[in-house]
């Protein structure tokens, strides 16, 4: 059963703590993305990665970090430097555009992070 899994579904964190959100895909996609979804603001890109061991900042990367050590995994760390971390976080993947295939993104179920 191919797809994208994100864990946990709900996450609570105390202020000042770092927290890592998991994202795994078994679609054999090269590219992976992290978005933040806030009411009325749509999806805003945090980080993306087109290939293992490489990633780029998106539009709102400050206070976040990522790694891409394996093709199927793209964890996101929300650091204490992120000023307003309470949000819904979505992970997505797509076939790398360099392959010539037209992309559509496939999304995981999301993680709702609440900072207490």
List residues near other proteins by CB under 8 A: 31, 33, 35, 40-45, 48, 50, 58-59, 90, 92, 97, 102-110
Rounded to a whole number of angstroms, the minimum distance from the CB of residue 35 to other proteins is 8
Measured distance CA(44)–CA(41) in Å, rounded: 8
CA distance 111 to 102: 27
Residue 80 vs 88, nearer CB to other proteins: 88
The C-alpha angle 86, 87, 91, rounded to 5 degrees, equals 135
- Asked if residues 19 and 75 have their Cβ atoms less than 8 Å apart, the reply is no
**Residue 32 or 113 with smaller CB distance to other proteins:** 32
Minimum distance, C-beta of residue 65 to other proteins, in the bound complex (Å): 18
Output the smallest distance, CB 80 to other proteins, in A.
27
């Amino acid at each position: 059963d191919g797809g994208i899994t994100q864990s946990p579904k709900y996450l609570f964190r105390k202020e000042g703590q770092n927290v890592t959100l998991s994202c795994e895909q078994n679609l054999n996609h090269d590219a992976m993305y992290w978005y933040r979804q806030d009411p009325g603001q749509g999806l805003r890109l945090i980080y993306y990665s087109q290939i293992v061991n490489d990633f780029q900042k998106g539009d709102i990367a400050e206070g976040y970090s990522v790694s891409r050590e394996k093709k199927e995994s793209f964890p996101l760390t929300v650091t204490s430097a992120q000023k307003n971390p309470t949000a819904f976080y979505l992970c997505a993947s797509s076939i790398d555009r360099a392959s010539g295939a037209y992309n559509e993104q496939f999304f995981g179920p999301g993680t709702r992070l609440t900072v207490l």
